[in-house]
Structure 1
Amino acid sequence: MVYKKYKKIAVGGTFDKFHDGHKKLLTTAFDLGEEVEIGVTSNAFGGLKGDIDSCKDRMKSLKDFFWDKSNYTVMVLDDAYGTTIFDENFDAIVVSEETEPVAVEINEIRVSKGMSPLDIVVVSFVLADDGNPISSTRIRSGEINKKGNILK
């Protein structure tokens, strides 16, 4: 068996317009964790970002990407923290540069509850052809595709 740095690792997001940045984030979590819990924002919580695909469709995209894996669970997130502020078994959280502040908040909450803080693994943005980060917002606007190629 391949040694993994962490026993249980968390990763979360909206995962709308599933793109190369999402793939890098999730692949990092799988590379580091024996068990990966993936939180996907609910329609209500994720919908705060605008017109996004349904939670069911976004979860299907994740499962399709990891069709060959079995060491994960996918759950719905109704807030930014999910089970990380209750489950003491997490060792680490994988976040993007954009969501690192949320991981810091999670650790503050965990410590205030007498729980161990999580190791925070920050994954750098995947850049589009123009040198700016690939994002679901840019894909929705038709500016780039999921690989970061410029469309207009």
Structure 2
Amino acid sequence: MHVALGGTFDPVHDGHRRLFERAFEIGDVTVGLTSDDLAAQTRHVDRFVRSFDARKADLERELESIAEKYDRDYEVRKLESPTGIATEPQFDVLVVSPETQETGRRINDIREERGHDPLDIEVVDHVRAEDDDIISSTRIVQGEIDEHGTLTPDSDGRDPK
């Protein structure tokens, strides 16, 4: 099986790690990492996002050990559009979080238009922080929590530049 998933992953946190684990349980993984332009367009909250190269280096460090654990291959590719790589015919499964499930449906519509089989869409639940809200990169950047969901009341968050 060939699995696709995508995101900005800045910073990587336990919710992302759950997505990665599930993807590698299923098969070999291709991660679409948003380009610098797309990362800015897909933010629900205006915040600083590190460069593609910096995010890719951190992402590859995360993926390496998980891929090794499952004896799987992986690749990181640049995403230039929200539907990105998953519309390509070689993929079998798309791993998404609850808020990106609709994008998965749009991807399958595009695949159908192109004559490709639909992807199985695997929805992975959020990981909760110790305050029972979801772990998100935005909350980490704003200084509310760390990458594991621990509250960080003394943190000012990431420098906005």
**TM-score, L = length of structure 2:** 0.85
CA distance in 2, matches of 1:73, 1:17: 19
Tell me the secondary structure at the aligned position of residue 145 of structure 2: coil
The one-letter code sitting in structure 2 at the alignment partner of 1:46 is A
Q: Distance in 2 between matches of 1:135 and 1:67?
A: 22
What is the rounded CA distance, in whole Å, between the counterparts of 1:92 and 1:84 in structure 2? 9
Query: 1:66-102 deviations in whole A, cap 9, x for unaligned?
Result: 23436011001011111222x2121110000111110
Number of aligned residues:
144
Query: Aligned runs of 1:56-135 on 2, under 5 Å?
Result: 56-68=53-65, 69=67, 71-85=73-87, 87-135=88-136
1:38 aligns with 2:31: yes
Report runs of 4+ in structure 1 exceeding 2 Å deviation: 66-70
Q: Gapped runs of 5+ residues in structure 2?
A: 154-161
| Alignment partners' CA distance in 1, 2:107 and 2:62 | 27
Please state which structure has a larger fraction of its residues in helix.
2
Gaps of 5+ in 1: 1-6
CA distance in 2, matches of 1:67, 1:94: 18
For 1:31, the aligned partner's letter is: E
- State percent identity of aligned pairs: 39
In proportion to residue count, which structure has more strand?
1
The 8 Å contact of residues 20 and 63 in structure 2, kept in 1 or not, is answered as no
- Secondary structure at 2:59's aligned position in 1? helix
- For the residue of structure 2 that corresponds to 1:128, the secondary structure is coil
Taking structure 1 as the reference length, the TM-score comes to: 0.90
